[in-house]
Amino acid sequence: MTLIVHHLGVSQSDRVVWLCEELGIDYELKKYDRSPIWAPPEYKALHPIGSAPVIEDGSIKLAESGACIEYILQTRGNGKLVATPGQKDFAEYLYWFHFANGTLQPALLLTLSLSRTGLGEDNEIVKRSEARRKQVLGFMDQRLSEVPWLAGEEFTAADIMNVTSLTTMRCFIKYDLTDYPNILAYLKRVAARDRYRYAMQKGDPDLNIDELTAAPPPPLQKAVAAVFQAHGR
């Protein structure tokens, strides 16, 4: 039975498209454009809380990107892109897989939320949020100074989970990566992967992955401007 991937453009659902390409599995991609910023009504209708991504596998309909990734790995992965008990990188794989939605993404979303409040840079809450984001990115940068991929020597689904926060999320959060050279080198390794390039061409062709630099590249800056214009900022 063919897996159906409902992909909302410029969202964390690019994780699922990328995973499917890395695994080389048969899937049907249904892409939805934002209208103009939020998910269109037909996408929100797919799930009771309007989450992205959503996958369908026969009678099963599943949301939450982490759950979708794990479901695909366990039903179609054939042991690829994971570390298992007994392997030396098993604990690191688990940690970094869950780091994406448990630590990195919340730190970035807090920055986004506070940017809409109008609080200045001197506000104590804003300063703490900024410090937290820098702490999290610095920790990731240190890890990537020691190993090429987050779990260790091999590329895994932990990388697929985290990269979207360093790329697609920058459509909505303007943060600079100049102080994180190992993250920048990591993104170059990611962008060199043929399956990643193909996945992005299918799912988000407007995001120029050849311009993954310290500052958000021009296509992402346009998306940021559209978001803030929609909010009157």
Q: Which of 50, 76, 102 is the last residue of a domain?
A: 76
State residue 159's pLDDT score.
98
- List 30's β-bridge partners, or say none: 6
Domain C-terminal end among 46, 76, 106: 76
Q: Which CATH number do you get for residue 14?
A: 3.40.30.10
Looking at residue 21, what is its pLDDT? 98
User: Does residue 100 sit in the same domain as residue 171?
Assistant: yes
Q: What confidence score (pLDDT) does residue 117 get? A: 66
Confidence at residue 182, expressed as pLDDT on a 0 to 100 scale: 97
Position 82 in a domain: no
Does 81 reside within a domain? no
Q: What is the pLDDT of residue 123?
A: 78
**44 lies in some domain:** yes
Residues 52 and 159 in one domain: no
Q: Which of 76, 111, 141 is the last residue of a domain?
A: 76
Per the structure, the complete domain to which residue 148 belongs is given by 90-230
**How is residue 13 written in tokens?**
């659902």
Helix (H, G, I), strand (E, B) or coil at 60: strand
Tens of pLDDT, residues 132-185: 999 999 999 999 999 999 999 999 999 999 999 998 888 777 788 999 999 999
Asked if residue 85 belongs to a domain, the reply is: no
In this prediction the pTM is 0.89
> Cα separation of 221 and 211, whole Å?
12
Q: Are 68 and 16 in contact (CB under 8 A)?
A: yes
Based on the fold, state whether residues 62 and 96 are members of the same structural domain. Answer: no
Are residues 94 and 168 located together in one domain of the fold?
Answer: yes
Residues 69 and 154 in one domain: no
How many domains, in total, are found in the chain?
2
- The mean pLDDT value for 52-78 works out to 97
Q: Is the pLDDT of residue 230 over 70?
A: no
Q: Indicate whether 151 and 97 sit together in one domain.
A: yes
- Integer Cα distance of 217 and 211 in angstroms: 6
Does some domain include residue 102? yes
Residue 53, preceding peptide bond in cis (omega within 30° of 0):
yes
In a domain, residue 84? The reply is no
Contacts 24+ apart (CB under 8 A), 225-231: 226/36, 226/37, 227/37, 227/171, 227/172, 230/36, 230/37, 231/116
For residues 211 and 154, membership in a common domain is answered with yes
Identify whether 39 is part of a domain. yes
Contact 24, 78 (CB under 8 A): no
pLDDT 10s digits, 86-129: 999 999 999 999 999 999 999 988 876 666 667 667 778 778 88
Q: Is residue 219 scored above 50 in pLDDT?
A: no
Is residue 228 pLDDT above 60, yes or no?
no
Mark whether 124 and 43 lie in a shared domain: no
Q: Are 28 and 3 in contact (CB under 8 A)?
A: yes
- Whichever domain contains 226, its CATH number is 1.20.1050.10
Tell me the residue length of the chain: 233
Is residue 142 domain-shared with residue 212, that is, in the same domain?
yes
Q: Does residue 42 come out as left (phi exceeding 0), alpha (psi in the -120 to 50 range) or beta?
A: alpha
Please tell me whether residues 175 and 199 are part of one structural domain: yes
Q: 39 and 104 share a domain? A: no
19 and 103 fall within a common domain: no
Strand partners, 27: 3
